[in-house]
Amino acid sequence: MQVFHHVASLREALAEARRDGKTIGFVPTMGNLHDAHIELVNLAREQCDVVVVSIFVNRLQFGLNEDWDTYPRTMQADMAKLRVASCDYLFHPDEAEIYPNGMDEQTKVICPAMTDVLCGASRPGHFEGVTTVVAKLFNIVQPNKAVFGIKDFQQLAVIRRMVEDLCIPVEIVAAPVHREEDGLAMSSRNGYLSEVERPRVAILNQSLIWVSDEIKSGRKDFAALEDEARAKIEQAGFKVDYFSICNSKDLQPAAHDDSEITILGAMYTSGARLIDNVSLSV
């Protein structure tokens, strides 16, 4: 695996790969890699000749009171995992490389659709930071395919929309949610969970599955279902950020005759905010 810290040298290596007729698969990450990231790398590996992974903890997508400064930086362990996963090129730029003119006057990519609800409502500016950095990374890497996890369902939908709106020539590949045995979706922030809370956090996934089963068995009283699910999570001792039954395409509250539904939830533990989702066709 070759490691690049600069845009110019990565571009040079990728230009050579392209000249040799190779396709490029890209997995953008913020590091602290776990098995779910490695599944993204495996998917890129299956579908493309050359695999590029980026590790960049993007300050632009963190709120002022969020965990940018404490976000785990685990470079040596990440590199070992990427070598095992046969990553070809690791791009690990510093902030000056990605934002050479600083962040205050950085040109931004703003996707007005789907970004002021759910995670966007509780994390103002978050998706603007995500779309800006992902657009930059796409311009740097110019991949044929880029792989994102369905765990971040809203992020995936927003990135798909950005790619469509800006005619970016990349195919977005969605990777299934990778879960722990009790159903907890794998996330870099799971490391913030206390030993006391860890056995109880599967309530988020259990509530999503319960609501999905209720809808499949014919319930259409979505508002009541959301309230019941919120109560289950609160009874387990967690504060609910949101729990919403949505239309999978536009993330608006689902209508009774919608056929593609995604149920999305977010809750606060003492040290982390966890998100998860379940999709169903009715």
CB half-sphere exposure, 50, CA atoms < 13 A: 22
| Continuous H helices in 166-246 | 203-216, 222-235
User: Min. distance of Cβ 274 from ligand PAF in angstroms?
Assistant: 14
Pick between residue 138 and residue 238 the one whose CB is nearest to ligand PAF. Answer: 138
- Computed from CA positions of residues 172, 109, 151, 213, in that sequence, does the dihedral angle turn out positive or negative? negative
In this complex, which beta carbon is closest to ligand PAF, that of residue 120 or of residue 232?
Answer: 120
Q: How far is the CB of 28 from ligand PAF (least distance, A)?
A: 4
| Neighbour-count burial for 64-81, b at 16+ CB within 10 Å, e otherwise | eeeeeeebeebeeebbeb
Nearer to ligand PAF, 117 or 254 (CB): 117
Indicate the residue among 61 and 248 with the shorter CB distance to ligand PAF.
61
- Three-class DSSP category at 274: strand
Q: Which of 29, 20, 24, 21 is nearest to 10 (CA)?
A: 24
Q: Which structure tokens are listed for 22? A: 């190779």
Please state, in angstroms and rounded to a whole number, the distance separating the CA atoms of residues 254 and 5: 44
Sheet bearing 24-29, strands edge to edge: 2-4, 89-91, 50-55, 24-29, 145-149, 171-175
Q: Is 92 a catalytic residue?
A: no
Q: Which residues bind ligand PAF (CB under 6 A)?
A: 28-30, 58, 61, 130, 133-134, 152, 155
Which of the residues 37, 92, 178, 256 is marked catalytic? 37
Active site residues: 37
